[in-house]
Amino acid sequence: MRIAQNSWLRVSNYLKESPYHDMAVIAIGSIESHGRHMPLGTDMLIPDKILELMEQKTDILIAPTLPYGATDQLMGFPGTISLGLDGLTLVLTRITDALYRYGIRKFIILNGHGGNIKTIESVGLGLHKKGSLLALINWWLIAGELNPAWKGGHGGAEETAGVMAVNPDYIDMDQITQPQLLKNDIGDALPTIGFNNVAFKGGTISIPREAHNYSDNGWIGPDAPTQATKEWGQEMLATMADYITDFIEAFKQAPLPTP
Ligand SMILES: [Zn+2]
């Protein structure tokens, strides 16, 4: 049941009658660079597609997808739009407060972006204190756990395959430059090895900075997007839709905390 496509009366009846009356799914994305070859909306497009596949299997309440997330680090790439941690905290708190008012006590967040995790977990802790549960599903991490061959990083093959399953026209494969090199903007003694991270004597140290300082691309990897195929994406997103549908049944049985 999509909130946006139904009247308040239909939603009201659903909340009285559905076996899933105290549950809702909210997808959260991010509008940010994923490299020269991928759309800025990657992190919302993939969760949206998973929701579309889930809708054929479960009648859970689906709130409209929040396209924006917290992505201050990618602001150097045109088109990137960030709510910041504070903005996302406010927006997600307001959304969950509204749903709480209508009886939702089990929130499933289908997340498309790593930078949103801290905020979602913090809002989840607040909901737990109010007698609710929030389950955070970081689709790309779980997909990599379910099938290690799918595991991928920012703008790599996993996300590229996911977008191919949404619409291959959104991908410009000829824009992928190989090899992808991260610049050692902190000096060669502290080589960049991923978002924020530099390597030092076998350890990983985080030095927060905007990503355009060490990438002229926005694809951070480590995996190469050239490996992606539409078939991979289709199988992966279908698997995620089945996985979340099964999770909903298990989560439905979970006892609520005492506020
Ligand atoms: Zn992404």
pLDDT computed for residue 60 by the predictor? 97
Q: How far apart are CA 74 and CA 9, in angstroms?
A: 41
CA of 115 from ligand 1 middle (Å) equals: 9
CA of 189 from ligand 1 middle (Å) equals: 29
CA of 28 from ligand 1 middle (Å) equals: 11
pLDDT computed for residue 217 by the predictor? 86
Q: At 165, list the tokens.
A: 């399953």
CA of 68 from ligand 1 middle (Å) equals: 12
CA of 130 from ligand 1 middle (Å) equals: 31
Residues of the chain with pLDDT under 70: 178-180
Bridge partners of residue 200, in order along the sequence: 203
Residues 6+ apart with CB under 8 A from 126: 93
CA of 121 from ligand 1 middle (Å) equals: 18
CA of 223 from ligand 1 middle (Å) equals: 13
For 88-106, the pLDDT digits (tens) are 999 999 999 999 999 999 9
72: nearest Cα among 191, 208, 251, 210: 210
Kindly tell me the number of DSSP H helices and DSSP E strands found in the chain.
7, 6
In order of 5, 7, 30, 184, 205, the CA distances from 114 in angstroms are 29, 33, 9, 23, 18
pLDDT computed for residue 83 by the predictor? 98
CA of 218 from ligand 1 middle (Å) equals: 10
CA of 165 from ligand 1 middle (Å) equals: 15
Q: At 195, list the tokens.
A: 């978002």
Contact 44, 34 (CB under 8 A): no
pLDDT computed for residue 179 by the predictor? 62
The owner of tokens 């824009």 is 175
Peptide bond into 222 cis (omega under 30): yes
Q: At 98, list the tokens.
A: 């509204």
pLDDT computed for residue 55 by the predictor? 96
Question: How crowded is the C-beta side of 20, counted as CA atoms within 13 Å?
Answer: 18
Which DSSP category does 222 fall into?
A: S
pLDDT computed for residue 180 by the predictor? 66
Amino acid at 194: G
In order of 17, 21, 93, the CA distances from 12 in angstroms are 9, 10, 21
pLDDT computed for residue 32 by the predictor? 97
CA of 96 from ligand 1 middle (Å) equals: 23
Please return the burial class of 196, using the count of CB atoms within 10 Å of its CB with bins 0-12, 13-18 and 19+.
Answer: middle
pLDDT computed for residue 220 by the predictor? 86
Phi first, then psi, for residue 120 (nearest 5°) are: -65, -40
Contact 27, 112 (CB under 8 A): yes
Predicted model pTM: 0.96
Q: What is the dihedral of CA 22, 30, 89, 145, to 10 degrees?
A: 60
